[in-house]
Amino acid sequence: MPLVLPDGHPARGAFAEAAGTGGSPPVRVGIVNIMPRLESYEPLLLGPLSRVTRDVEPVFLRLETHAYGSSDHAHLDRFYRTLGAALADGPLDGLILTGAPVEELPFEEVHYWSELVQLLEVARSSIASTLGLCWGGMALGGWLDIPKVLLERKLFGVYENRRLEAEHPLLGAQEDVFRCAHSRHSGVRDVDLERAASEGRVRLLSHSGATGYTMFETPDHRFVMHLGHPEYVAERISFEWDRDRSLGRADVKPPHDFDPAHPATSWSTHREALFESWVRLIARR
């Protein structure tokens, strides 16, 4: 379905029209985009959102305590609003919290952490579901007092995960084993997630020996945590490999099960199924 994007947004030609296609009103999805060069990351989310079977209105949100140093500030100022300004136009049905290049820092040392915690408190009480991706998923876990840990070397490449529930609204048409891209220096220990699950704080949705638990959620679906990058396309993995290699990072090895010279998005089935299932979930609540 076409996305409902504001006038002048550079992605309108590819993904959008001025209004929805009729019928139900569009699903309003807030996007807290704290990735570097935020304008170049946007299409990675808009692509799968444009292919769900409901009209979606992305609402780009900014943090007042974040400098957005690598991003285009003209784009930021024109298309991004604070959460309060966005809510003044009506409620949000869902929220996406992206990754961020701060995963090697403790949460409390991230300069916008206090503001983000306040935003997540609003989301927990008034938004049907928040989907956290990579560091965004770890941040949701941090809000739930689930710690993250540094990895000895970057978890990088494409990995298989096994679904843990035969039927679940977020797993939808996922196969029993699905592929997903990962690109992270931090993670969450299995033992910490299993303890949280035993206490009823989270439900565990997918696992592999290489990645640990990739998907988990609060039992009410309000926080959905995905420690991978399902939104990525193959070219993004190739770009990050070239970037990290040029920086000479000894803790970054060639991406697992992925050929940067011949990139292929082998996890597209998972990406499409996840965003379709999540939008269906928030649209009916």
Q: What residues act catalytically? A: 134, 229, 231
Instruction: List, in sequence order, every beta strand (DSSP E) within 78-176.
Output: 94-97, 129-133, 149-163
* Tokens read off for 175: 């196969």
Q: How far is CA 106 from CA 62, 72, 73, 113, 140, in A?
A: 21, 27, 27, 10, 14
Laid out side by side, the sheet with 94-97 consists of 16-17, 3-4, 56-61, 27-32, 94-97, 129-133, 223-226, 212-217, 203-208, 149-163, 177-187
DSSP of 7-69, one letter per residue? Answer: TT-TTHHHHEESS--SSSPPEEEEEE--SSSHHHHHHHHHHHHHTSSS-EEEEEE--TT---T
Closest CA to 229 of 116, 129, 101: 101
User: Phi first, then psi: what are they for 188, rounded to 5°?
Assistant: -125, 130
| Rounded CA separation 215/236 (Å) | 21
**Three-class SS state of 2:** coil
- CA Rg value for the chain: 18
How far, in whole angstroms, is CA 65 from its chain's centroid?
20
SS3 percent helix, strand, coil of the chain, rounded to 5, is 35, 25, 45
* Residues in contact with 78: Cβ distance below 8 Å, sequence separation at least 6, in sequence order: 8
